[in-house]
Amino acid sequence: MKNKVLVELYVPSIDEIYNLYLPVNRKIGNIIALINKSLFEITNGEYVGNNHTMLYNRDTGETYGINVFLKDTNIRNGSSIVLL
């Protein structure tokens, strides 16, 4: 497996979809924090994440635990995930 995967991220609170590369060697909680910070910056503050933000599989609704490494989930290239 490579060190990053390309995913489609849907953010319902701002009704936007982004294609991003996520690092496979980071925990989901760290990835959420990185996404929250990035979205805040690219939306000029329109998106504000919080400590309760979670990642979900867009097709199955599965929740990804914050202490699980991305490589240990079913997130792969082309996966569609939701940030809520």
Q: Is the pLDDT of residue 1 over 80?
A: no
The residue among 70, 66, 64, 65 whose CA lies nearest residue 24 is 70
Looking at residue 81, its amino acid is I
- What is the pLDDT, as a whole number, of residue 60? 96
CATH classification code of 4-83: 3.10.20.90
9, pLDDT greater than 80: yes
Is it the case that residue 2 has pLDDT exceeding 90?
A: no
What are 24-68's pLDDT values in tens digits?
Answer: 999 999 999 999 999 999 999 999 998 899 999 999 999 999 999
Region 66-83 average pLDDT: 98
Strands (E), the chain: 4-11, 16-23, 55-57, 63-64, 80-83
